[in-house]
């Protein structure tokens, strides 16, 4: 399965912060924002990832991750010349995605929860078209919204409706089968001039091939696209890390736990940042893994 991180857009809601670079490279507490969506794909077992971003910023992401080999992954890059909607990712990345199932995550979305890895693996395992997720929110009109029937089946999908039919919002994380690029190729821009992800989801729904998995209260979903939400996300990461003693979105540790790299390789990555608490944490986790290489609890079903 291919992973796609959509890290494009102009980040206008975060200006002037984004006047000098991608919002997905802005810090969320102790690491770049993009670490969090990338870690979600890694927890799903995906080690082949395409990052889509603006042309001027490809080299910044490449400086951060290179070809991905240091994490035991393959990471490639593609340029989105201008923001044209989420579904444009399947056009921009068509030559790398066509013929493969894929998972798409938005570069400004953060997910955390003990059951999240098993939920992700279930989505990949039971994929029969597309899988989207739902979580109850207080202001559903700000999001894509799913309407669910009495038997729990998905009835409809609306994009930012004025009068939502439910309070079940659809986060920026989706799994698709290998027909998604063909569906995206046939889309027409919406009234706001974008290729809407909801139109892709509706195409699967019309064919009876769209499934929704609810994210329970033990899974946190944060959108970091505004100054307030970015600050809230940083506080959330800080509080969880201080309370639990583990670091959210630590791609080096996850790569080691997933078996992408060895404990020695993980230790070396931490040693390169040994002056920072983050680097020291990576080194400590690598040392602990050498002594007890049992799977982390976040990988258990």
Note whether 3 and 78 are within 8 A (CB).
Answer: no
So what's the pLDDT on residue 193?
A: 82
Residues 6+ apart with CB under 8 A from 14: 23, 26, 225, 226, 227, 230
How far apart (Å, rounded) are the C-alpha atoms in residues 27 and 7? 14
How far apart (Å, rounded) are the C-alpha atoms in residues 53 and 42? 19
Report long-range pairs for 118-121 (Cβ below 8 Å, ≥24 apart): 118/300, 118/301, 119/213, 119/215, 119/219, 120/40, 120/43, 120/44, 120/45, 121/44, 121/45, 121/301
So what's the pLDDT on residue 102?
A: 96
How far apart (Å, rounded) are the C-alpha atoms in residues 25 and 12? 14
Q: Give the pair of three-digit tokens for residue 49.
A: 């990832």
Note whether 238 and 134 are within 8 A (CB).
Answer: no
Low-confidence ranges of the chain (pLDDT < 70): 294-301
Instruction: List Cα–Cα distances, 112 to 40, 115, 222, in angstroms.
Output: 9, 9, 9
Name residue 131's beta-bridge partners.
175, 211
How far apart (Å, rounded) are the C-alpha atoms in residues 33 and 299? 23
Note whether 94 and 18 are within 8 A (CB).
Answer: no
So what's the pLDDT on residue 160?
A: 86
Q: Where are the alpha helices (DSSP H) in the chain?
A: 35-43, 58-65, 89-92, 94-97, 116-125, 180-185, 197-206, 227-244, 251-257, 263-271, 277-291
Burial of 162 (0-12, 13-18, 19+ CB in 10 A): exposed
How far apart (Å, rounded) are the C-alpha atoms in residues 248 and 252? 11
């Amino acid at each position: 399965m291919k992973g796609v991180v959509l890290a494009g857009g102009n980040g206008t809601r975060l200006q002037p912060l984004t006047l000098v670079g991608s919002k997905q490279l802005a810090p969320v507490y102790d690491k770049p924002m993009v670490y969090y969506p990338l870690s979600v794909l890694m927890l799903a077992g995906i080690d082949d990832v395409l990052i889509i971003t603006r042309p001027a910023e490809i080299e910044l992401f490449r400086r951060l991750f290179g070809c991905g080999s240091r994490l035991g992954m393959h990471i490639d890059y593609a340029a989105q010349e201008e923001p044209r909607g989420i579904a444009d990712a399947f056009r921009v990345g068509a030559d790398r995605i066509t013929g493969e199932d894929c998972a798409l995550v938005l570069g400004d979305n953060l997910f955390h929860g003990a059951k999240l890895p098993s939920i992700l693996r279930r989505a990949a395992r039971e994929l029969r078209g597309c899988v989207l997720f739902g979580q109850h929110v207080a202001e559903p009109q700000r999001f894509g919204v799913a309407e669910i029937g009495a038997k729990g089946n998905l009835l409809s999908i609306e994009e930012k409706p004025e009068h939502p039919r439910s309070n079940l919002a659809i986060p920026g994380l989706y799994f698709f089968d290998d027909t998604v690029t063909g569906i995206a190729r046939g889309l027409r821009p919406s009234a706001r001039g974008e290729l809407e992800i909801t139109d892709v989801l509706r195409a699967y729904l019309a064919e009876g091939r769209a499934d929704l998995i609810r994210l329970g209260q033990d899974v946190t979903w944060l959108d970091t696209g505004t100054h307030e939400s970015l600050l809230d996300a940083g506080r959330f990461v800080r509080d969880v890390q201080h309370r639990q003693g583990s670091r959210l979105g630590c791609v080096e540790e996850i790569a080691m736990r997933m078996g992408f790299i060895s404990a020695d390789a993980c230790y070396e990555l931490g040693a390169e940042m040994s002056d920072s608490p983050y680097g020291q944490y990576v080194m400590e986790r690598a040392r602990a893994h050498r002594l007890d290489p049992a799977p982390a609890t976040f990988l258990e079903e």
